[in-house]
Structure 1
């Protein structure tokens, strides 16, 4: 397997590795808001455009790797219960989600402050460009923080050990979102287009990256404010719709022309795939790589991330109707029946009998319940060669054009209480088309007693399944208190295929019972925000712990 159009040259890859490691050494992980005076502050640096680019490259190391975040939600379950999804979590002493994001913000602030020093040798457009990259990543870090913790300290400059800001209280989330928007608007205005970046700079943040991320951020806060009843939801929803439409109108991106499964293989990588807007790059081969990962072998095949019945049931039949009402749906007799007449993205996302699997078992037949506790196994990124080497270079798509489309549809509906058929065709129906599913129209929804809002949410769920969105969607819609306390169910237990397994528990209708509802809880007065790390409150008594933690 090889890529037909390399994302960037080997020379660029090598430079990326060297400069990223250089910056990692130069910006040590000390306390979150502090920047020691010895860290890239001498007058011999910040003298050229190359210095600015090198500094900005370090920020890209903070892009998230492949992960198992979906076990926090009702979409997935791991080898054991998860304390976020089942409500048993306690406030931690430390939390990497807190410190790492402030490390990113500190590095971004450093660039914003010092980039102007390069004025003698670098053009203003170059200074603006790398300042814009820094402001994009500052917005990225602050969104990660406020999404989890709500109000947090808003730090917009580098600090010393004696800075008074170290003992300041948290800023309101509204002020943080205003700053995020300012940073992303600056980035959208100053960064080059996706096309201008070309092959040599593929993977760097473009102006549409900033707009697409703004759409994600604004949709989150707009719907969260609406359903949690605070703030100015219309302001954020309009910002989400406007930013998403700007990406659409730019014509810089489109849906991948190949198969949905190939989006998450080497065939979906590089500049020729215009669907990817932000990616974490790993490389083009084992000899030309930045990083490697073993996501398929260590997370999917080994059972750290397994799809649930709840996710499986969300995939429509090809007539556009849910399984509960479609005349096409038949109760499964064998495991492959689950995929008959369904949205084809289901068989691209779930392993099914006959799919290539791994070196020691080349063809999949049925999930191994020792590892795949739900009786289902995810398929995205599945690759036999990667299983064998445990060193994959398949990039992680972090923000795709498909997300922009469903964001635009949802923002319009939440803002106006309706969406017309033309906008459904522009967004949801383009995604349904590649899944082989009938179009959604207002008349179709009325005839079949469907709720348009629910169908837009369903489309988002199946299109972005296994990509870490579901938990945060439940949080912003305020439906986590309904969905997360439910029992976790898996596949229908096909005894002839699974065999006799003494330890498996089943529901009365023969579905695998993974975690009983009695072991799951969600406190809506507490669990919609994460607890601040206890050590951070000890360092800064002006910080208040989130309610009931």
Structure 2
């Protein structure tokens, strides 16, 4: 622990040297030789310069809490999106449960907390005004951000608010309960909400944290911890919080989101690009400052040397949607597929696009759009294919399931390979759905609640309104294998479905399955399925279809599909993306996670040993040793 503190001090000095970010609002630098406690914290600008460095906490385009991800990848290795091979994290059969010796996430999190505490402590010396309040509010938001990531990963963690020295008595502190950690996070967010201004105001602009994002973040935390207590308590899992039913946190969601609704109304991003698909284009804006309903975003601008390379993720995306996701979409009349009177044919992608919720077609590619290089913004695409390749010897246009992510496609021909599209982190939809879900769990939801939340989102895509009485009258059985709760009301499950569909590929799925206490139910024994195989065989084994779409006659011969060689199927004819792995053949056992361990990560063994040397017990999480 002491060695880590020395390391933190080194980081703090380096941190000040490297302060700054993109666009003019983040370009200030502060000379290291001028930073002392006596001279630095004297103005609001000093706070701004230091808090700017905290924006590095937000995930870059290929990271999500240390994982390789971005929009289009963030639900990777859950039940709704898979890669080109099985995820090792979901193959725990035979795993001993021995905790790792070290964990960079643990160390880096406490490093950030110390830096943020340093700012908050010294901010008391800065004269109070509106500008100073903005940056103090941002600091509290960032501390909440770090602690929430730790809460999700570890549950109980030590809470630090002071700046510790190597000889501080509080250096070795036992883990505070997750209940207390959640309360602490929400208190920080309340301070952030009080002090920060609305998006695009004088001091809360150009990608800065704002009041809207803090309100949604408060709802995210309250819903997460409230539903965790509710469901894990009801199932008496090893992760239950003794004496808590979740109501205290769930009841915090409505006041936060109602304040947001009073400010935002039903204003959502509605510019649809050349295909008039506003929902698709939420994640594809060069300047998200003007995107209504996008509250927090990370700025990218190649002119400021902060570009990215995720512009072509829908063309060459190794993370592919699954049939389980597709099956969960309602039809375009707002009815579950198993009750639909429409000609929904799961064996044909175009039928799904024509008959399902319009968000399906705006999230997943359908061949009726034509070859890729006929879409505005994709004219330079080398392979004019109407379907993604499922033959894994090809990298371009490859999809292991046959379903390709289309949400977030960049239709601007000048921007497609420019790398200046902003990265959306928090948007209005999440807050609206949090309100609906919290009230559904509490059993207090009304039609009025649905009209100001779920139905605002449905209206943007032309989806029929959700009607409470109709939903609760459906003769439908909900399965835990699909992430539902058979013991709950229809409306609770339909809001889960709505959340899955609206927020797909944005990184919420794993967190949701764990807080609902169904993660192991969904994952264990699961063998992913993709699209129906015959449609792909008919296309790629017919050179005339390939040449008609613009592929040369020589190249057209390369894409032939041979069963059991470069593709395979489940018994029902739907693609098996992991067919080369025996665990995922018909006789295989599929995925497995340990139910008594998979919901929280281990506390690193070295930390436990350091605490023990100091005479303090740092307890381990369930299932780990």
Which TM-score band (shorter chain)?
0.7 to 0.9
Deviations 1:199-224 (A, max 9, x none): x8232122222111100100000111
Residue correspondence of structure 1 range 97-496 to structure 2 within 5 A = 97-119=105-127, 123-194=128-199, 196-197=201-202, 201-229=205-233, 230=241, 231-251=244-264, 254-258=267-271, 259-266=278-285, 269-283=287-301, 286-287=302-303, 289=304, 291-297=306-312, 300-353=314-367, 354=370, 355=372, 356=375, 357=378, 359-361=380-382, 363-369=384-390, 370=392, 371-383=398-410, 392-415=419-442, 417-449=443-475, 451-485=490-524, 486-493=526-533, 494=535, 495-496=537-538
Choose from 80, 95, 120 the match for 2:85.
Answer: 80
Structure 1 pair 242/510, CA: closer, same or farther in 2 (3 Å)? same
Q: Give the Cα–Cα distance (whole angstroms) in 1 for the partners of residues 566 and 429 of structure 2.
A: 40
* Bigger Cα Rg: 2
Q: Does the aligned pair in 2 maintain the 1:296–1:387 contact within 8 Å?
A: no
Structure 1 pair 115/383, CA: closer, same or farther in 2 (3 Å)? same
Matched residue, 1:33: none
The alpha carbon displacement at 1:124 in A equals 3.8
Q: Does the aligned pair in 1 maintain the 2:156–2:178 contact within 8 Å?
A: yes
Structure 1 pair 96/496, CA: closer, same or farther in 2 (3 Å)? farther
Choose from 576, 581, 592 the match for 1:513.
Answer: 576
Q: Does the aligned pair in 1 maintain the 2:270–2:460 contact within 8 Å?
A: no
Q: Give the Cα–Cα distance (whole angstroms) in 2 for the partners of residues 304 and 296 of structure 1.
A: 14
Aligned length: 515
Q: Does the aligned pair in 2 maintain the 1:195–1:252 contact within 8 Å?
A: no
Which range moves more in the overlay, 149-158 or 508-517? 508-517
Q: Give the Cα–Cα distance (whole angstroms) in 1 for the partners of residues 266 and 105 of structure 2.
A: 31
Return the TM-score normalized by structure 1: 0.87
Structure 1 pair 447/234, CA: closer, same or farther in 2 (3 Å)? closer
Report the aligned-residue RMSD.
2.7
Q: What SS does structure 2 have at the residue aligned with 1:295? A: coil
Structure 2 residues not aligned, in runs of 5+: 1-19, 62-68, 234-240, 272-277, 393-397, 477-489, 542-560, 579-583
Q: Give the Cα–Cα distance (whole angstroms) in 1 for the partners of residues 403 and 528 of structure 2.
A: 13
The alpha carbon displacement at 1:444 in A equals 1.6
The alpha carbon displacement at 1:45 in A equals 1.4
Matched residue, 2:539: 497
Deviations 1:98-137 (A, max 9, x none): 3333233222111101112333xxx444333322111111
Matched residue, 2:620: 545
Structure 1 pair 536/411, CA: closer, same or farther in 2 (3 Å)? same
Q: Give the Cα–Cα distance (whole angstroms) in 1 for the partners of residues 414 and 406 of structure 2.
A: 12
Q: Does the aligned pair in 1 maintain the 2:224–2:515 contact within 8 Å?
A: yes
The alpha carbon displacement at 1:12 in A equals 9.2
Q: Does the aligned pair in 2 maintain the 1:256–1:273 contact within 8 Å?
A: yes
The alpha carbon displacement at 1:436 in A equals 2.7
Q: What SS does structure 2 have at the residue aligned with 1:350? A: coil
Q: Give the Cα–Cα distance (whole angstroms) in 2 for the partners of residues 535 and 498 of structure 1.
A: 54
The alpha carbon displacement at 1:296 in A equals 4.2
The alpha carbon displacement at 1:14 in A equals 4.3
The alpha carbon displacement at 1:361 in A equals 3.4
